[in-house]
Amino acid sequence: MNYTTQMDAAKRNIITKEMEAVAKKENIDVELLRSLVAEGKIAIPANKNHKNLDAEGVGQGLRTKINVNLGISKDCCDMEKELEKVRVAIDMKAEAIMDLSNYGKTEGMRKKILDICPAMLGTVPIYDAVGFYDKELKDITVDEFFKVVEKHGEDGVDFITIHAGLNREAVELLKRNRRLTHIVSRGGSLLFAWMELNNKENPFFEHFDRLLEICEKYDMTISLGDACRPGSINDATDPCQIKELITLGELTKRAWERNVQVIIEGPGHMALDEIQANMLLEKKLCHGAPFYVLGPLVTDIAPGYDHITSAIGGAIAATYGADFLCYVTPAEHLKLPDLDDMREGIIASKIAAHAADIAKGVKGARDWDNAMSKARADLDWETMFNLALDPVKPRKYREASTPEHSDSCTMCGKMCSMRTMKKVLNGEDLNILRD
């Protein structure tokens, strides 16, 4: 059967191979999945030209997914190091990679990633435009912006971040409501600059139908970027952020009319007590579309530890509706992350995602924890390591500090509560003082 996009197929009651793969992974009924894709509440980013894609679903009732950002910059332009990050991220079961390369001819990097990447791949085409044309931002034309988007679709990119909600009205609102950190979105700030320097409307807002035509052609999901996301807790839930969110909701309905899948991007930096309300606002204003958050970081004072501030916010956000977490590394705000930074960021985000899945009752989420708890009660160290989110680190700790008795650890020794309960309940002698 012929269909243009995953959403088009879903509306026609067609079950695609990608839907079958996602339903199997999530252990849910494929017909339920199809209906939610048709409604836009689940997105399956799957560009027709991404031939080695192992499809994932993002949205209502599914496991919370994580994304890993990487890519070359002018100061750090070692392509092989970034490709090694891709390989490690895939080994660590990241569901998505975003190539945020912003230096030189990034097409080569993008194609190399696609060659080795079964995870869904995202990009921000405006990052590519300056290098692609080798001309200053101000001088890039509307047609040239859209040609870059078309190239990303042709190459096989599964989802693209487009800051279409930053229109002239939003810009004027931003000027009237000054923030501590202004616009912290890199793509958003570039569009803001282009609009101001040329005194023109945002081309992706003004010509949104042209964007939809390209996305429909390749079945590229639009990740509607939050140019006005808060970059500090002071700026959270302000008029600029909410105005843009309202616009993104309107654009979402237009995209769905063309059978283009949508993900909504969200904050940012945000105090703990604002997160739940923000998740509700997004789901209400954007009609239940999947929500993708960067963090949110719950305090601004922990450079070097922002994988922790982000994981705290991410767990709460996903509990109350976020479907997709963009990882944050210890290097956030400081430098391009190295391989170790990336590993730390992935683990922190996976902890947040899984903790939220338990809280929101995702099917099977608790089973993993119950298996770990049983292994702990049984003092079965090998099973504990095998079940661990990161098997390497706990095994390393165990080997670095070997207890006298193998059924305990060096913190509690023979006073280990698990050891005590196991022996007493089995009718064995406890012998704490005797060998």
Residue 296 token pair: 């949110």
Percentage above 90 pLDDT, the chain: 89
Residue 228 marked in a binding site: yes
Q: Is 334 helix (H, G, I), strand (E, B) or coil?
A: coil
Amino acid occupying residue 188: G
Query: 39-43, long-range: CB within 8 Å, 24+ apart, which pairs?
Result: 39/288, 40/7, 40/252, 40/256, 40/261, 40/262, 40/287, 40/288, 40/289, 41/288, 41/289, 41/290, 42/290, 43/6, 43/159, 43/221, 43/261, 43/262, 43/263, 43/289, 43/290
* Same domain (yes/no): 235, 370: no
Residue 297 DSSP class = B
* Same domain (yes/no): 17, 123: yes
Q: Is residue 1 part of a domain?
A: no
Cβ(331)–Cβ(317) below 8 Å = no
> What pLDDT, on the 0 to 100 scale, is given for residue 104?
81
Residue 226 marked in a binding site: yes
The mean pLDDT of 138-147, rounded to a whole number, is 98
Residue 427 marked in a binding site: no
β-strands 42-43, 58-59: how paired?
antiparallel
The mean pLDDT of 36-58, rounded to a whole number, is 98
This prediction has a pTM of 0.96
Answer whether residue 416 shows pLDDT above 90: no
* Same domain (yes/no): 434, 378: no
More confident residue, 130 or 368: 368
Residue 186 marked in a binding site: yes
Cβ(279)–Cβ(318) below 8 Å = no
* Total domains, the chain: 3
Euclidean distance between CA atoms 39 and 61, whole angstroms: 14
Q: Render pLDDT for 214-256 as a digit per residue (tens, 0 to 9).
A: 999 999 999 999 999 999 999 999 999 999 999 999 999 999 9
Answer whether residue 43 shows pLDDT above 80: yes
* Same domain (yes/no): 45, 110: yes
Residue 163 marked in a binding site: yes
Full residue range of the structural domain in which residue 413 is found: 405-435
* Same domain (yes/no): 249, 344: yes
Residue 27 DSSP class = T
* Same domain (yes/no): 339, 415: no
Q: Render pLDDT for 153-170 as a digit per residue (tens, 0 to 9).
A: 999 999 999 999 999 999
Sign of CA dihedral 210, 213, 214, 215: positive
Answer whether residue 398 shows pLDDT above 90: yes
Average pLDDT in the chain: 96
Distance of CA 255 to the CA centre of its chain: 21
Residue 416 marked in a binding site: yes
> What pLDDT, on the 0 to 100 scale, is given for residue 103?
84
* Same domain (yes/no): 79, 156: yes
Assign residue 207 the CATH number of its domain. 3.20.20.540
The mean pLDDT of 278-307, rounded to a whole number, is 98
Q: Is residue 409 part of a domain?
A: yes
Answer whether residue 1 shows pLDDT above 80: no
Tally the C-alpha atoms within 13 A of residue 202's C-alpha that lie toward its C-beta. Answer: 25
Amino acid occupying residue 26: E
Q: Is residue 305 part of a domain?
A: yes
Residue 3 marked in a binding site: no
* Same domain (yes/no): 354, 431: no
* Same domain (yes/no): 51, 164: yes
Q: Is residue 11 part of a domain?
A: yes
Residue 227 marked in a binding site: yes
Residue 292 marked in a binding site: yes
Answer whether residue 367 shows pLDDT above 80: yes
Q: Is residue 17 part of a domain?
A: yes
pLDDT band at 413 (very low <50, low <70, confident <90, very high): confident
Q: Is residue 61 part of a domain?
A: yes
Residue 98 marked in a binding site: yes
Answer whether residue 435 shows pLDDT above 80: no
Q: Is residue 152 part of a domain?
A: yes
* Same domain (yes/no): 389, 409: no
* Same domain (yes/no): 204, 220: yes
Percentage above 70 pLDDT, the chain: 100
* Same domain (yes/no): 79, 186: yes
DSSP 180-203: SS----HHHHHHHHHHHHHT---H
